[in-house]
Amino acid sequence: MSKIKEFTINISQDKLDDLSLRLQHTRWPEKETPNDWSQGTPLSYMKEVCDYWLNEYDWKKEESALNEFPQFITEINGLDIHFIHLKSPHPDAKPLIITHGWPGSITEFLKVIRPLADPTIDGGDPKDAFHVITPSLPGFGFSGKPKEPGFGVEKIASTFSELMQSLGYEKYFAQGGDWGSAVTTALGMQDVNCQAIHLNMAVVTPDPETFDDLTEFEQAAIQSFQFYQDSDSGYSKQQSTRPQTLGYGLTDSPIGQAAWIIEKFYQWTDCDGHPENVISRDELLTNIMMYWLTETAASSAKLYWESFGEFNGGEVTTPTGVSIYPKEIFRASERWLKKRYTNLKYYNVLQEGGHFAAFEKPEIYINEIRTFFRNV
């Protein structure tokens, strides 16, 4: 592992000018045939986004806000790893590594990093403080792009474990959703120094032994996952089989990249019919820019090619907490979870929120993390 270096985001004006030209010269498809999102992101909305992106969105303002967080980069396993590292002012704070997924980024956590590091800023207890580390997954954002096969979930977990050791955290805690859930689970399985894990998307196979007496919650969970398999998983089939092919289009077209991501924010958030009901247009675009400016459409998709089958496998004995949000892709019951996460210490079904928990409902997300880790 190389030396840890300070990192500042500084996108060149040439890149921003190139983006503007591409937006101005977008080739639009015809309108969707139904007046809804069932065929994907609607044309009228994408034209609104394009106009706003071109004429009102201020990347330099967003870049400056990102740079208010202490960022670093280091080489581990031959790859640059970019991360935010905010140390708590409270000496007994717990080290906590938080991992994002696809189509997210470190921008998901900007509203929760400071309160987690210093609970007193919102009237909380300093005993709930964390030293917060939020890395960009390999192939995402400002982390490096793997040049050879093999950088899947297990190798990412070992890389992040080494990152925590290099920061001086002999013992630590981990949290994640989406791919971050898989990486966090792998940390709990692989690294004895990982003391406990919290997940906001825990994927397990429904237990066949429960099929004769399914609860209403479990019936709804199976129906929801069936909808995902039938009508919402096309992106994962493409990214897990031909990510390189997909990358040519998304890396070349900012509107293509944006539409590919925004549709998931519509489908997976608790948004009452429109993603901007829970996440602002600026926030959506800043997350998209983490893919566009870094040209990581293909490299991020390749994580599916590497590891899509690794979400569900192997017993996890590390103390585990799980928060279930109502608009999550898969919502496991407590008894299903205990078949795999055999040391499940905390399970809570929430009344609002979705897949992008920290982005959508930061206060709820913070409270879930504090509540679980307070007692482990």
pLDDT in tens, 228-271: 999 999 999 999 999 999 999 999 999 999 999 999 999 999 99
pLDDT surpasses 90 at 1:
no
Q: pTM higher than 0.95 for the full model?
A: yes
Mean pLDDT of 214-233: 95
Does residue 61 contact residue 71 with C-beta atoms inside 8 Å? Answer: no
Mean pLDDT of 36-57: 98
Residues carrying an active site annotation: 178, 304, 355
Under the banding of pLDDT at 50, 70 and 90, the label for residue 104 is very high
Domain 5-373: state its class: alpha beta
pLDDT digits (tens, 9 = 90+) for 127-184: 999 999 999 999 999 999 999 999 999 999 999 999 999 999 999 999 999 999 999 9
Radius of gyration of the chain (CA): 20
Q: Is residue 340 helix, strand or coil? A: helix
Structure confidence at residue 34 as a pLDDT band (50, 70, 90): very high
User: What mean pLDDT do residues 206-215 have?
Assistant: 95
Domain ranges of the chain: 5-373
Amino acid at 358: A
User: Strand pairing partners for 273?
Assistant: none
In contact, 179 and 101? CB cutoff 8 Å: yes
Could you read off the pLDDT of 273-304 as tens digits, one per residue?
A: 999 999 999 999 999 999 999 999 999 999 99
Of the pLDDT bands very low, low, confident and very high (cuts 50, 70, 90), residue 17 is very high
Please state, in angstroms and rounded to a whole number, the distance separating the CA atoms of residues 64 and 186.
34
Mean of pLDDT over the chain: 97
Q: Which tens digit of pLDDT belongs to each residue from 340-358?
A: 999 999 999 999 999 999 9
Contact by Cβ (8 Å): 299, 139 = yes
Q: Which of 212, 301, 216, 219 is nearest to 257 (CA)?
A: 301
Q: What is the pLDDT of residue 309?
A: 78
